[in-house]
Amino acid sequence: MWHAWLSLNRKQFVRDPVLFISVVVPICLMLTVAKGVPLLEKITSFPISPHLPYLLSIFLLMTPITIGMMIGMFMLEERDEMMVMYLAVTPLGRGRYVVFRIGFPLLITMMLSVLLVIVFPAPSLHRWEVFLFLLTSALETPLMALTMLSFASNRLEGLAVAKMLNFVLLPSIVLYFLPTKWNGLALIFPTYWISQGVLALAEHQETFWGYWLGGTFYHVLLIWGLFRKFYGSME
């Protein structure tokens, strides 16, 4: 069953242009930044290197968020077509359906995140601890997908929820330019834990452990709550 489902996911991923683009675009963006930032720093007087950890923390979140929203829309389409109800009475079941549907994109997200760290010109983050945040940032994929599935009942509502989810990165972007006294306001956003953790890691601060542990627990808690909500709506 695992082999058949993975084969189906792989074929759907290749055939669906939206899902395919959601992976190709981040890869192109990674390579552009990796090669373009050093060149830009040479031809301009603006120092970019001190801000590379911040840029990495944002790019680390963009890919799983984008893929998660795409998977959410894909699963909403399957709900509209009543495929979820049919699968629920098969040996796959409702719970395994969610795991299988999100599992393959989650694996792709993790591979892209590893590639991002490898090609990104940020020497201060070339440490094994950064892979802890790769695992946590990958959780944004199921988090985004389950958020859309929990608060939207069809594709039209899913588009509205997706527009709201586009703002989840805003606190991490805005608060980088504001005094640290405002940082506590963003702790309700799961993305902020990851971005701040990456910055703390780049500055060799031990607080990154707190951001990682707290952020991981927060993500798992939200995913579990959203999964239960979505699972209940399928009954």
Domain boundaries, the chain: 2-233
Instruction: Provide the pLDDT for residue 31.
Output: 72
Residue 193 has pLDDT above 60, yes or no: yes
Higher-pLDDT residue of 145 and 3 is: 145
Classify each residue of 21-40 as buried b or exposed e, where b means 16 or more C-beta atoms within 10 Å of its C-beta: ebbeebeeebeebbeebeee
C-alpha–C-alpha distance, residues 63 and 23, integer Å: 8
Is 90 in a helix, a strand, or coil? coil
Instruction: Provide the pLDDT for residue 225.
Output: 92
How does pLDDT run across 67-80, given as a tens digit for each residue? 888 888 888 877 77
Region 51-57: mean pLDDT is: 82
Phi, psi torsion values for 94, nearest 5 degrees: -70, -45
Instruction: Provide the pLDDT for residue 57.
Output: 84
Is 167 in a helix, a strand, or coil? coil
Higher-pLDDT residue of 17 and 100 is: 100
Region 107-126: mean pLDDT is: 79
* Residue 72 near residue 147, CB atoms below 8 Å: yes
Residue 18 has pLDDT above 70, yes or no: no
